[in-house]
Amino acid sequence: MILPIGPVHPGLKEPLRLKLHTRGERVLSAEIDYGYVHRGIEKIMEGKTWQKAVYLSERVCGICSYIHSQTFIETFEKIAGDEAPLRAQFLRVIANELDRIQSHLLANSTYFSIIEHETLFMYMLSLREMIMDAIELLAGNRVHMAWNVVGGVRQDAKEVHLKSILDILDKFESQYSKYPQMFEHGPLLGLRSKDVGFISKEDSIKARTVGPIARASSVPTDLRTDHPTYRDHLDFNVIWRDEGDNFARTMNRFDEIPESIKLIRQCIENLPEGKFRKKIDIPAGYADRRNEAPRGEVAYMIETNGNLIKNISIRTPSIMNIDACARYMFKDVATVADAVATYASVDPCIACAERVTIVDEEANKTHEIRGIHNIKTIEL
Amino acid sequence: MSSVIWYLYEFARKGWAEKFAGAATDKEIVEAPDRFRDFPEVIRELCIACGACTAACPSPSAIRLVRTKDKDMEEGEGITYPVINTDACIRCGFCAEVCPTDPKTLRTGENHLIREEFTILPAEKMFVIDDYLCIRCKKCMKACKVEGAILEEDNKIMIDQSKCIACGECAKTCPVKGAIKGIYISNVEGQKDVINLVIHYLEDLIEARQDELKGLPPEQVIKFEVPFDDVLERAEGMLPEEEHIRDMVEKVTDRLKLRIITWDDSKCNSCRLCVDECPSGAITYDKEKGVTRDSKKCLRCTTCYQTCPFGVAGSYVARFLLTSTELQDDKILVTVKPALLPFRG
């Protein structure tokens, strides 16, 4: 029997159709349908001046919006062959890590709500609220920060802001440490999470998973190690696990949060004095840039003529993760409830995934990618 | 029974009743932080109607400039001010950043406090003053809405590009046609191609009339007309936007002055004086072909015309004027006359 879940479903955060092939309660395989929130944001950006498109790039994703504007800006700085002042780079790290904490907490809260553990779900969201307050204090708004500009950040962080962020982090840490323990040692949570939705290292590499999903199945990849600011000035560990199941993915996110807090503290302690913004002239050119978003690798490829954006292409992490989930994780899952929980554990972000169409110029055809089930039929 | 008494006691407590009557949320929860960007606040009186906010807005229909009429007078100018459409506004605060007035018309969060050197306005055009045509009437300085954007230095009027908001008001008021030029920033290579194509086409037209020009006595001119659409057709498709092409071709053909060099091979005696004189190497000598001139390399300096003892090279000056009337199609008036330069032959 084919059991459809979604696109409009109380269990899913965002519109996407899961077609589960079931025999009795057992899920044998799955198909995934995209295309319910396609917005064509790249097409809107083309032909606009780059100053405007900075604010549009944030609208690619509703949860991890910050990293999109940062990658967009860093691509332009790469085209100009220049980089932002060191103070601005540190401030960017602070905002980026705050964004990562809130995104991980939201992802875990969704997972807990799907496995019907409402207590932890509520705890996660109340913890997230503190971080959202810190973001609002620093950048102005809670989700779309509009904090990055080419050549630095828009407004300087004053002593007051940094102090109150440190206070919030102290309060956060004092409350935080018990929740991962609750999840790690809870017997019922363990039953629902351990050995469910398993993906091996080989399959994970084959499916090109990125971010916490790859790191939970012993692929220790983190693009922050290649980022110049993180590499040269900051010290952090790449968290990875080897179980490869729902438990590992959730725990991996839990363990990354203290690392992010550590990074923010380092940044605030060593924050260099000086300019936070400088003027950068943009010449015509092309560049690409990758960064580690909360969900994995995000890549921007931009061609500009110095004023307008000629061509832009964005690659977001969710598309690989969701396809890996459909192909490798939904193999002989015991129950439908476990299948939905597995889907929630890969932290799918449909809003940023749905921008892809493949245009075949010779045959004058357009192919919509609808997940793993039709990607093989597209001949390029 | 005891619980009933407890409830009665609770109801009777004064503090509880007061709390119930004056229920309100804690102020600390509702208060937005300093940097919170709400929809921009507009102070109508300060607006100078420059349109910088509408040009900067990433959302297509979020800001609109509105002009009101004075109530007392029918023909009063009224005031102009931006109106924010809250359905379309994405609250990025970019409009408050680029607003050139002091103090700012638009305010949101702390964005209106961002300093002037960073207010980068995205614009299609860049305005420059042609010093050769400028008559220094200073009308543009009065028309300019931003203080200090047009300045006078060493008896020259100049535009400060860091302050200019590219509204184009100066170009409208300028009494001399073409003295203030709006240049498109994008597609510079494509614009060069359009200019070259138009000029080569016009030159070819004049060189085709060599026979008429040869017999022309000094102080007499040849006049003819070229339809504007003929020129425009040739440039079609060279730039992505149709309007830009039309604008470019209009600017190139209007008030254009060209030097025309004609070449008459039959008169040449292969003395090769011009080959040595030519500064750009456009004239070459070959044993089989004789003396040849490459018009693409030629600078139109007229050195060959002044050197040649036999009158092989002819020099003429052509002037172009674009006329636009409502009754008929646009035409380019061309006037060609011999150059009055010393001539040995």
Q: Are B265 and B228 in contact (CB under 8 A)?
A: no
Give the residues across from B125 on adjacent strands. Answer: B184
- Is A3 in contact with A17 (CB distance < 8 Å)? no
Q: What is the pLDDT of residue B345?
A: 47
Confidence of residue B288 (pLDDT cuts 50, 70, 90): confident
**DSSP letter, residue B40:** P
In a domain, A129, yes or no: yes
**Is B90 within 8 Å of A59 when comparing Cβ atoms?**
yes
Q: Is the pLDDT of residue A371 over 50?
A: no
Contact check, Cβ <8 Å, B117/A52:
no
A353 falls within a domain: no
Question: Does residue B243 sit at the A interface (CB-CB below 8 Å)?
Answer: no
- The answer to whether residue A22 sits within a structural domain is no
Identify whether A54 is part of a domain.
yes
Task: Determine contact: B326 vs chain A, CB below 8 A.
Answer: no
Q: How far is B229 from chain A (nearest CA, A)?
A: 28
Domain of A233: which CATH number?
A: 1.10.645.10
By C-alpha distance, the chain B residue nearest A138 is B35
Give B38 to chain A, closest Cα distance, Å: 9
The mean pLDDT value for B315-340 works out to 80
- Nearest chain B Cα distance for residue A140, angstroms: 4
HSE of B41 in the Cβ direction (CA atoms, 13 Å)? 12
Domain around A179 = 41-317
Could you say which DSSP state residue A375 is in? H
B-chain residues within 8 Å CB-CB of A55?
58, 90, 92, 94
Contacts of B118 in chain A (CB under 8 A): 149, 277, 279
Q: What is the pLDDT of residues B306-320, one digit of tens each?
A: 888 888 888 888 888
CATH architecture of B41-118: 2-Layer Sandwich (3.30)
Evaluate if pTM is beyond 0.90.
no
Give B-chain residues touching A53 at CB under 8 angstroms. 58
Give the closest of A56, A141, A149 to B58, CB-based.
A56
Answer whether residue A89 is part of any domain: yes
Q: Which residues have C-beta within 8 Å of that of residue B274, sequence separation ≥ 6?
A: B283, B291, B303, B304, B307, B308, B312, B313
**Could you tell me the CA-to-CA distances from B130 to A193, B125, B158 in Å, in that order?**
74, 15, 9
Give chain A's domain count.
Answer: 1
The residue-averaged pLDDT of A279-302 equals: 90
pLDDT digits (tens, 9 = 90+) for A87-100: 999 999 999 999 99
| Closest CB from A51, A140, A305 relative to B109 | A140
Distance from C-alpha of A322 to C-alpha of A353, rounded to nearest angstrom? 9
| % of chain B with per-residue pLDDT over 90 | 2
In words, the CATH class of domain B125-184 is: alpha beta
pLDDT tens figures, A296-330: 899 999 998 878 888 898 888 888 888 888 888 88
Q: Which B-chain residues 35-94 have CB contacts (< 8 A) with chain A?
A: 35-37, 56-58, 90-94
Residues 6+ apart with CB under 8 A from A149: A54, A73, A277, B118
Q: A354, A370 in Cβ contact below 8 A?
A: no
Q: Are A313 and A40 in contact (CB under 8 A)?
A: no
* Angle made by CA atoms B272, B274, B276, in degrees to the nearest 5: 80
Residue A347 within a domain = no
* Distances B131 to A313, B174, B175, B251, B255 between C-alpha atoms, Å: 43, 13, 14, 16, 15
Window 296-315 of B: residues touching A by CB (8 A cutoff) are none
How is domain B188-338 classified at the architecture level of CATH? 2-Layer Sandwich (3.30)
Angle at A343 between CA A338 and CA A347, to 5 degrees: 135
Q: Which residue among A52, A140, A154 sits closest to B122, beta carbon to beta carbon?
A: A52
| Span(s) in chain B for CATH 3.30.70.20 | 41-118, 125-184, 188-338
Verify whether the Cβ–Cβ distance A51 to B120 is below 8 Å: yes
